Amino acid sequence: MKTLLLSSISLLLSTGIAFAQTTVQSCNRTVTFEAPPERAVSNDVNLTEMMLVLGLADRMVGYTGISGWNKLDEEMRAGVEALPELSAQYPSKEVLIGADADFFFAGWNYGMRVGGEVTPETLAPFGIEVYELTESCTHIMEKDKASIEDMYNDLLNLGRIFGVEDRATALVEGYRAELAAFASTLEPSDPLRVFVYDSGEDAPFTAGRYAMPTALIEAAGGTNIMDDFERSWATVTWEEVVERNPEVIVIVNYGEVTAEQKRDFMMSNPAFAGLDAVRNDRFVTLEYVEATPGPRNIEAIRTLADAFRPITQ
């Protein structure tokens, strides 16, 4: 008992002298970093882009969970050419340990599953710290409605973790200024009713209250018709969509079924013929990287706002 006390005191002293600790909030955990990670791994395309936009490629040993689902685009490829993809899909514990990773940037359903093999708890014994995507916290705790602040929060936290706070702050301030300037050009009007169509034919998979598109749509001057749906990405019924009659439909583009095929499905089903969005053929496509939290959200808001502009006849 005495030795334990002594050793913990000496540990505290030594770390206190060596580094300024950094503590960040990751979902419901407080994570303490004794030093900035040197061998980071990020999962999925949107999270990896957050690392890249902060200039952290040289602190990474690889990325996971992108090419298995054909999500790597040209812009992205340019930033990660030097890095190996450690796993085409969700990584296993062995993959991360085998890469000598000391940090994993992932989220719930973005590289980790609740109760799965790879979680902050299962990685902790191997010295791998985890920072969780803020949008995904809704899967393990109570959370406020999705907001663009969630994305800013992730960038600022990554900035603290890696000791590049200035860069992160500058980026976020830039985004804020860009959006504020942009918002002032929007004509004030009643928000359009917008439906996010991710996939599914028997029942649509869509973005609810806690998923990023709800925030993007609001920033662009619309409302997500499912923003009272207390879920993140989830399935609703077509009946609910028909009842709420969206004026614009946002298609999330990724995977085997193309955006054009998703649009065709909605245009050809007689049940949707009466929807304002279908009658006026008002569809807009967001790529997966744009619709999930990441630096391309800003461009996504512009794309949405363009699509929401009043139809001139």
Which residues bind to other proteins, rule: CB under 8 A? 68-69, 89-90, 109, 198-203, 205, 229, 233-240, 242-243, 245, 254-258, 261, 264-265, 268-274, 288
| CB nearer to other proteins: pick between 156 and 259 | 259
CA distance 267 to 197: 13
Report long-range pairs for 160-168 (Cβ below 8 Å, ≥24 apart): 160/22, 160/24, 161/22, 161/24, 161/33, 161/36, 161/37, 161/103, 161/131, 162/36, 162/37, 162/40, 162/54, 162/56, 162/59, 163/22, 163/36, 164/54, 164/55, 164/56, 167/54, 167/55, 168/54
CB of 267 to other proteins, least distance (A): 11
Q: Given the complex with other proteins, which of 58 and 256 has the nearer CB atom?
A: 256
**Residue 31 or 241 with smaller CB distance to other proteins:** 241
Residue 108 CB, nearest distance to other proteins (Å)?
11
CB of 205 to other proteins, least distance (A): 5
Nearer to other proteins, 56 or 118 (CB): 118
As a whole number of angstroms, the distance between CA 196 and CA 207 comes to 6
Q: Residue 157 Cβ, how far from other proteins at the closest point, in Å?
A: 24
Closer residue to other proteins (CB): 65 or 222? 65
CB of 195 to other proteins, least distance (A): 13
Name the token pair of 67. Answer: 């090419």
